[in-house]
Each structure stands twice: as structure tokens, then as C-alpha cells.
Amino acid sequence: MFTVSCRKFTGSEPFADPGLQPPWRGGKQFRSICPSPQWGTPCRAKLGVHSFQLGTELIRIYMTSVKAGSMRTLEEVYNAIKSKFLEFDFDGVKRLVREALGGGASPNDVIEHSLRPAMEEAGRRFEKGEFFLAELVVAGDLFKEVMDEILVPEIQKRGGSASVLGTVVIGTVRGDLHDIGKSIVATMLRAAGFNVIDLGVDVPPEKFVEAAVQYKADIVGMSALLTTTMLEMKNVIDALKQAGIRDKVKVIVGGAAVTEEYAKSIGADAYGEDAVKAVKICKELLGIKT
Ligand code: B12
């Protein structure tokens, strides 16, 4: 007997795992074991993807995991994602990310508990000379592919806020080309209901100011990952002052190089450690109750 993780999928949900061919024919046997499929229900079904008709509904069940008698926990799935990520196994990472979402993880859980730590490990290996720059580039591509193909659509699907909470102009500061974290923050803010103007990477101070004026921004968000480029954040704040709009916008900063103390020292209104905190803080800055 296996304890399997099972989840009900509707027929329209894009789900494909070439590694798991349905060995199951028909639904009768399944229904007799598990009449109301629920995540984590123990049953004797074989692993894989199973489809059957229940009334008018086409049901697909994804059976995953597994050691006899124990279910693969999300923690184990996260660890597997990290390993596959560092092997640059694109398909393996995507399959496991889908598994984690199917197992109840939110897109942000997947980012913060597996993808981001894997990226940080890639950075450590780069520092130690175990990875070359080319490997960092591939790691960046892998992260982006998983975001674009799976997590951004999932975040958008789950977000769905109708009203606009405010306008955020966001970008990675001049000299800095890191855009993964900034793009995640932009996506999460959009999903929470903010109107987000993403200026991209390598953004000079005058472009932040121009966009803040043009879009009547409530918040200016800056990202920096290099200790050299984070100094640019102060230049942006100075440019906002010179343009006479510093008191009209709130400034939030973030990125691996930045700290709370640094944010205070340059006169930013807030520092956001990750995308979820960024959303919470942006709401607080505008006095929006959560
Ligand atoms: C991937 C990567 C790259 C990729 C970037 C691909 C891309 N499209 O972004 C490439 C290969 C291009 C790259 C290049 C370089 N990199 Co690089 N890179 C990284 C790496 C491994 C991961 C960064 C990442 O994407 N993390 C994942 C995301 C999700 O995390 P995050 O960015 O921190 O974002 C989260 C939070 O910080 C926060 N956040 C981010 N932005 C914002 C903004 C706001 C407003 C808020 C509120 C929150 C917020 O929320 C995000 C989501 O939770 C880091 C290592 C590390 N530990 O960070 C090194 C690292 C940042 N890179 C480094 C270096 C040295 C370089 C290069 C100079 C290498 C070289 N010799 O050429 C170049 C610089 C190029 C340039 N001018 O920018 C160093 C920086 C050292 C330092 N302290 O200055 C690091 C730390 C690696 C290392 N350990 O040496 N890099």
C-alpha cells in the first residue's frame, strides 16, 4: 500500500508530466478506493496521472510521491527543486514546481523556500569559484522561465483584485542588470491590485523622476543587488528632491545588497526584504488596511 498525494484537476488545467504515463484505465476502481478525491487522501492507486469521467466532469488525478506509508512533504519537494535547480535540470524543476503548487504551496512559498535559496546557493558557488558567470546566466534563465511559464500566470490567477490601490514606479537602479527579484516584486504588487510601471534595469535617476511625474506615482520602488549600484538609490532620492516631488511619493528599496539600516541612512521610507513584505509595506505606506 502506498500513501499517495492526490489532487483533483479539471480537464482544462494544463498539466503534463512526460515522466508519468497513466497506467490507469477507467475510473471505477479509483472511485471505489477514493470516492471524493482530496489532497493527501491515502489510497492504493498507482502513481501517475489518471483521468476519468465523473458525471459530466473530466477528472484528472495526479498521484505523486513515494515511499510506502509516507507522503512526500513540501519540504522534500522544495529540497528536490533546489537540487534540480543547481543541476540546471529545467524540466525537472518545472515538474517539481507544479508538484509543490499541486501540494498546496503558494507561488511565493515556492519562490522563497526553493527558487530563491537555490539562486543564493548559485551565488555562493560563484563566489567560491565553483560556478562560472555562464552558470549564473543559466541560473537566471531558469529562474525566469519558471516564473514566466508557471508562477506569474499562477500569481495572476490567484490575485484578481479589481480596484487599483495605487501606482508604483519600479526599476533596478543604474549600472545594475539584475531583474529577477524586481520583476517578482512587480508581479506581486500587480496581483495585489497596484498599477505597476516597471522601468526595467539600469534605470538612471532622471528616468525614475520622469516616470513618477508622468504616471503620478504614489510609490517609487528601487532594486539593487550590487554593493556598488545601491549607492545609486541615494541619487534617485536626491533627484526626486530636486524635482520637488519627494514629499509626494513614498520610496521603498530592496534587493540583496540593501539593508534596513542602509534604507534609513539614505532617507527611504521603507525597506522590503522580499516580495510579500514589499506588498504589505506598500499598502501600509498608502494607509491601506489589510
Ligand atoms: C542571477 C545573478 C546574476 C545574473 C542576473 C540575471 C538577471 N536577469 O537578473 C547575471 C549572470 C546577469 C549576473 C551578473 C552579475 N552579477 Co550577479 N548574481 C546573481 C545571483 C546569483 C542571484 C540574484 C537573484 O536573481 N536572486 C533571486 C531573487 C528572487 O532574489 P533578489 O534579487 O534578492 O530579490 C528578492 C528580494 O531581494 C526583494 N527585492 C528585490 N528587489 C526589490 C525591490 C524592492 C522595491 C523591494 C521592496 C524588494 C526587492 O524581493 C525579491 C523577491 O523576494 C546573485 C547572488 C545572490 N545571492 O543574490 C548574484 C550577485 C548579486 N551578482 C554578483 C556579481 C558580482 C555580478 C557581476 C558583477 C558578475 C561579473 N563579474 O560580471 C554581474 C553584474 C552585472 C550587472 N551590471 O548588474 C554578486 C554581487 C556582489 C556584491 N555584493 O556586489 C552576487 C551577490 C554574487 C556573488 N555572491 O558574488 N548576476
CATH of the domain at 81: 1.10.1240.10
Indicate the pTM of the whole model: 0.74
Helix axes 133-146, 90-102, angle to 10 degrees: 40
- Determine the structural domain holding residue 137 and report its residue range: 74-159
Of the candidates 76, 79, 97, 100, the residue with the CA atom closest to the CA atom of residue 146: 97
| 9 touches 60 (CB < 8 A) | yes
Please report the pLDDT score of residue 178 as a whole number. Answer: 95
Question: What CATH number did the domain enclosing 267 receive?
Answer: 3.40.50.280
Q: Are residues 219 and 117 in the same domain?
A: no
CB-based burial of residue 35 (10 Å sphere; 0-12 exposed, 13-18 middle, 19+ buried)?
exposed
Higher local confidence (pLDDT), 110 or 57 = 110
Please report the pLDDT score of residue 133 as a whole number. Answer: 83
For the stretch 71-88, pLDDT in tens is: 568 889 999 999 999 999
| 127 C-beta closer than 6 A to ligand 1 | yes
Inside any domain, residue 119 = yes
C-alpha cell at 167: 501606482
Q: How far is the CA of 256 from the centre of ligand 1 (A)?
A: 7
| 82 C-beta closer than 6 A to ligand 1 | no
Q: What percent of the chain has pLDDT over 90?
A: 50
Inside any domain, residue 41 = yes
Q: How far is the CA of 156 from the centre of ligand 1 (A)?
A: 24
C-alpha cell at 84: 534540480
Inside any domain, residue 212 = yes
DSSP β-ladder status, 195-198 and 219-223: unpaired
pLDDT band at residue 5 under the 50/70/90 scheme: very low
**pLDDT of residue 283 exceeding 70:** yes
Which of 159, 183, 203 corresponds to the end of one domain?
159
Q: Are residues 148 and 173 in the same domain?
A: no
C-alpha cell at 7: 489532487
Residue found by looking up cell 525537472 in the block = 92
Q: Are residues 175 and 155 in the same domain?
A: no
Mean pLDDT, all residues of the chain: 79
Number of H helices, E strands in the chain: 12, 8
The CA-based angle 76-81-84, given to 5 degrees, is 125
Neighbours of 188 (CB within 10 A): 24
Inside any domain, residue 290 = no
Of the candidates 145, 123, 141, the residue with the CA atom closest to the CA atom of residue 132: 123
| 180 C-beta closer than 6 A to ligand 1 | yes
| Protein residue whose Cα sits closest to atom 68 of ligand 1 | 226
| 178 touches 223 (CB < 8 A) | yes
Please report the pLDDT score of residue 50 as a whole number. Answer: 53
| Protein residue whose Cα sits closest to atom 12 of ligand 1 | 137
Inside any domain, residue 124 = yes
| 53 touches 79 (CB < 8 A) | no
| 272 C-beta closer than 6 A to ligand 1 | yes
**Ligand 1 atom closest to 112 (CA):** 53
| 130 C-beta closer than 6 A to ligand 1 | no
Inside any domain, residue 2 = no
For the stretch 92-147, pLDDT in tens is: 999 999 999 988 888 888 998 999 899 889 989 988 999 888 888 889 889 989 98
**Ligand 1 atom closest to 144 (CA):** 8
**What are the contacts of 142-150 at 24+ separation with CB within 8 A?**
142/85, 142/88, 142/90, 142/93, 143/115, 143/119, 143/180, 144/180, 144/183, 145/90, 145/94, 146/93, 146/94, 146/97, 146/115, 147/180, 147/183, 147/184, 147/187, 149/94, 150/94, 150/97, 150/98, 150/101
For 69, phi then psi, to 5°, come to 80, -5
Please report the pLDDT score of residue 110 as a whole number. Answer: 93
Q: Are residues 83 and 45 in the same domain?
A: no
For the stretch 202-214, pLDDT in tens is: 999 999 999 999 9
Please report the pLDDT score of residue 16 as a whole number. Answer: 31
Q: Are residues 116 and 97 in the same domain?
A: yes
Which of 159, 184, 205 corresponds to the end of one domain?
159
Domain count, the chain: 3
Of the candidates 203, 207, 199, 209, the residue with the CA atom closest to the CA atom of residue 243: 209
| 285 C-beta closer than 6 A to ligand 1 | no
Question: Measured between alpha carbons, how far is residue 228 from residues 28, 133, 179, 232 in Å?
Answer: 64, 18, 16, 8
Inside any domain, residue 39 = yes
**pLDDT of residue 270 exceeding 60:** yes
Inside any domain, residue 26 = yes
For the stretch 16-40, pLDDT in tens is: 333 333 333 333 223 323 334 443 4
